[in-house]
Chains A and B, each alone.
Chain A
């Protein structure tokens, strides 16, 4: 893992001191709330329904046990004993006092963490494939590039006051686990035929009120030219992105207005003028790469007797192994997914105790490495198959062994009306109701991969547009209604879902999902996922079944 050197630490300390001064000036009335707001946002502080929310950055979703324990400690000391992992692989504390914020930032800085640019109209926390360094599928380690982007984007002199927020993802494999095409910039690592490393550059994705899937503006960018190209994209956006209407200010609107081709032309023209002066020297990339050098893996047999025996002994462990263990690049190891979607829980929430359990497991069995996924789960990327039964047992004891990865109850949901001042409707309890419908694990497994995503308002923090089943909360004369969309995806087969029909009342949502699943099970052919079946049959059979029930 990347370790902060003195320079990185100094920057966090300076930032913390700066914010302490700004809070003091705000509390003394020297800064108005209007002036203070963009400053606190750039330090992760939101004013929510009940209190301040602090959003802590977890760059490219990578954590070590010391950091996770510190997050647990903050949750216990300054919040109500838990935290909420988000779709940007950040962690949010929802019950923070403004006066405590500088203390918390100092505590974060003590373990090389921060809340810099987790909000505001600037370049946000960069995300990357959570299986980095562990999957055989990857072209190159995306963390190297994501860490370089983290540094480049931190307190960028030119691009800290953009028209709107700006999100970058680095995907490293054909299978996209970062939702790259829903980002302002999606970078997909590739190798050219001659072996040269580079990126496919996609620009102008985004959800929100007007969902866009990012078009490719450059099929192949040589990797060493990344930063001049990023600078060119950001410069075109900083100059020409709309600033007159907050809802039209994302880069997706600029790209759509100009057309991907014209946008690309402008970027290329700017890029040519910038030249190589903005690129990162190879020596610095090599330094960062060194920090992610592969850990020493043991030479193990591909089949673990202890693992096989445990599966034979325990159907529950076998189910966990089937759903939550993913293939590792090294024989005898596995990637372990930890679901934060236990039936009846708030998706993405983890208690301080749970964080500590995961930190302990990472230390004992997982090479001190923990990842956060954009689907609001955690990952132990390097676990020996021999140790998987012990890891599972400890997770089970902490309520963390739900074997539902990518299944119907592995739901993404925004905080919704329970926390958020913008929401029209609840998200969390809708997720809980759906999960309860599918509490029968065997049925859920029969249904297979099904991505449900729920947003409590059109800002789409729950990514409903790209859910296989998307659920959007709307307000109808003071009552919570939900619009369902089908067939969306955030992965390499990205697409925006199609409306099912008129919005449904709160009480009918879980039941409607149940009906949709029944239609899928009836219609599916061969190994089709829900998404595949829907894309083949179209909306008709689903619509008919859900609205037939109404009569």
Chain B
């Protein structure tokens, strides 16, 4: 089981994961689940009507636009990193937050290393399943590695040029 880290009031903390990730070839267990987009499209309605919390896992080639109309009833969007160098999920996360104003959890799953922590938090991820055994402290350090940032992003951090009083 990978570690599960969630931002709580902005700070990474180790947490219990209330969701079960279910593969397409597995039967759905009771409780809150994260399922694939295709499974959500066929079975999501039924699961939601049972009063469960449902999350959807998007592969890096799947467009967040496919979820646009379902977002208000989805608890988690899990964005997959098949390799840590595959950067598509950063765009997906920003679109979820900035374009679709998604308020639920955006979770990083797959090849997730602390090297990406800063980028992920900036793009709107708030939950992580690190594959490198990172502790919450290591994640925290990586997240705050840079005291300043040059770009506006989803985290609303003040940007360098704002601090320059231009």
A interface majority secondary structure: helix
In the assembled complex, the CB of B61 is this many whole angstroms from the nearest CB of chain A, namely 8
Are A158 and B91 within 8 A (Cβ)?
yes
Contact of B160 among A39, A151, A278 (CB under 8 A): A151
Q: Mark A31-43, 1 if CB is under 8 A from B, else 0.
A: 0000100110000
Are B161 and A238 within 8 A (Cβ)?
no
Beta-carbon contacts under 8 Å, A344-359 to B: none
Known: A38-B85, A273-B99, A281-B161. A161 touches B149 (CB 8 A): no
Chain B residue with the shortest CB-CB distance to A286? B166
Q: How many residues of B contact A (CB 8 A)?
A: 31
Q: How many residues of A contact B (CB 8 A)?
A: 38
Within 8 Å of chain A (Cβ to Cβ): is B101? no
Are A10 and B153 within 8 A (Cβ)?
no
Are B91 and A284 within 8 A (Cβ)?
no
Known: A14-B147, A155-B149, A161-B86. A35 touches B113 (CB 8 A): yes
Known: A157-B122, A157-B123. A278 touches B152 (CB 8 A): yes
Contact of B87 among A14, A15, A238, A281 (CB under 8 A): A238
Chain B residues with CB under 8 Å of A287's CB are 161, 164, 166
Are A158 and B99 within 8 A (Cβ)?
no
In the assembled complex, the CB of A4 is this many whole angstroms from the nearest CB of chain B, namely 11
Give bound CA distance, A15 to B149, whole Å. 12
Q: Mark A117-140, 1 if CB is under 8 A from B, else 0.
A: 000010000000000000000000
Beta-carbon contacts under 8 Å, A153-177 to B: 154-162
Give bound CA distance, A155 to B87, whole Å. 13
Are B84 and A35 within 8 A (Cβ)?
yes
Within 8 Å of chain B (Cβ to Cβ): is A152? yes
Contact of A281 among B91, B151, B166 (CB under 8 A): B166
Within 8 Å of chain B (Cβ to Cβ): is A239? yes
Give bound CA distance, A281 to B152, whole Å. 12
Beta-carbon contacts under 8 Å, B114-142 to A: 115-116, 118-119, 122-123
Contact of B145 among A14, A152, A278 (CB under 8 A): A14
Give bound CA distance, A406 to B2, whole Å. 59
In the assembled complex, the CB of B160 is this many whole angstroms from the nearest CB of chain A, namely 5
Give bound CA distance, A7 to B157, whole Å. 14
Known: A10-B148, A286-B166. A159 touches B160 (CB 8 A): no
Within 8 Å of chain A (Cβ to Cβ): is B90? yes
Give bound CA distance, A402 to B84, whole Å. 48
8 smallest CB-CB distances across A and B, nearest first, come from A161-B87, A157-B122, A283-B166, A284-B161, A151-B150, A158-B90, A287-B166, A157-B153
4 A-B pairs besides A158-B123, A160-B90, A160-B119 with CB distance below 8 A are A7-B160, A17-B145, A280-B161, A284-B161
